[in-house]
Structure 1
Amino acid sequence: MSVARQDIVSEARTWLGTPYVHQASVRGAGTDCLGLLRGIWRTLYGAEPEAVPSYSMDWSEPQGEERMWAAARRHLTAKSPDDLEPGDVLLFRMRDGGVAKHVGVVSETGAVPRFIHAYSGHGVVENALSGPWQRRVVACFAFPLEVR
């Protein structure tokens, strides 16, 4: 079975309007950015690839550990952020010197790229990948397009 990039974007869009709830991953009821990614994975591939341990809002910042980045490397395919395609996963560093702890899914590329993410205070939204967001991108990954 294969997954098309548009399947990823279409599934992400079904989460639009879901309220932001830390550590949740239930479409329509509540999710955070990682929960959105987990929900997309479950719909497209079945069970999640690994159990997600409980995490705090500061997401490994006190230890300086790049836990989210390491998990992305285990299950997604790293690629250049200069070659964005719909369905790619973006990893963001929200402040200088902090760990990368926010993710979103590219929904459109071209002159006005867009991405879908769960954002505290806003829920799941689709935003322009504007300059301030682009400056925070530290890594880009692709979902596996072939299901094993």
Structure 2
Amino acid sequence: MTVDRQDIVAEARRWLGTPYVHQASVRGAGADCLGLLRGIWRALYGAEPESVPSYSMDWSEPQGDERMWDAARRNLTSKRPSELATGDVLLFRMRDGGIAKHVGVASEIGAVPRFIHAYSGHGVVENALSDPWRRRVVACFAFPLEVK
């Protein structure tokens, strides 16, 4: 089975309006940014590729561990942010010197790029990938397009 990039975006858009709930991943009920990705994965591929341990709001910042980045490398395909395509996963560093701990899905590219993410205080939303967001992007990943 093949997953089309538009399938990824369509599934992400089904989550729009889902409230922000830390560690949740249930469309319509609650999700954080990782929960959104987990829900997209389950809808398109079935079972999640690995279990997600409990995590605090500060993730692994005190230790400086790049847990989200490491998990993305294990389960997605790394690519250069300059190669961003619709349906790709963007990994963000929310502050200088901090770990990368926010993710979103590119919903549109081109002149007015957009992305879908779950953001505290806002829920799952689609925003412009404006310069302030773009400056925080530290990595880009593709979902697998072939399903085994």
> Structure 2: which 5+ residue stretches go unaligned?
none
Mapped partners of 2:109, 2:2: distance in 1:
22
The residue aligned with 1:133 is 133
The residue aligned with 2:62 is 62
- Give the percent of matched residue pairs that are identical in Structure 1 and Structure 2: 85
Report the aligned-residue RMSD: 0.3
Deviation at 1:62, TM superposition (A): 0.3
The residue aligned with 1:95 is 95
Matched, 1:117 2:117: yes
For 1:99, the aligned partner's letter is I
TM-score (norm 2): 1.00
For 1:37, the aligned partner's letter is L
Deviation at 1:73, TM superposition (A): 0.2
| Misfit runs of 4+, over 2 Å | none
Mapped partners of 1:84, 1:17: distance in 2:
25
Q: Secondary structure at the match of 1:91?
A: strand
The residue aligned with 1:52 is 52
Deviation at 1:84, TM superposition (A): 1.1
The residue aligned with 1:80 is 80
TM-score (norm 1): 1.00
Deviation at 1:49, TM superposition (A): 0.4
| Number of residue pairs aligned between Structure 1 and Structure 2 | 148
> Structure 1: which 5+ residue stretches go unaligned?
none
Q: Deviations over 1:49-99 (max 9, x none)?
A: 000000000010000000000000000000010011110000000000000
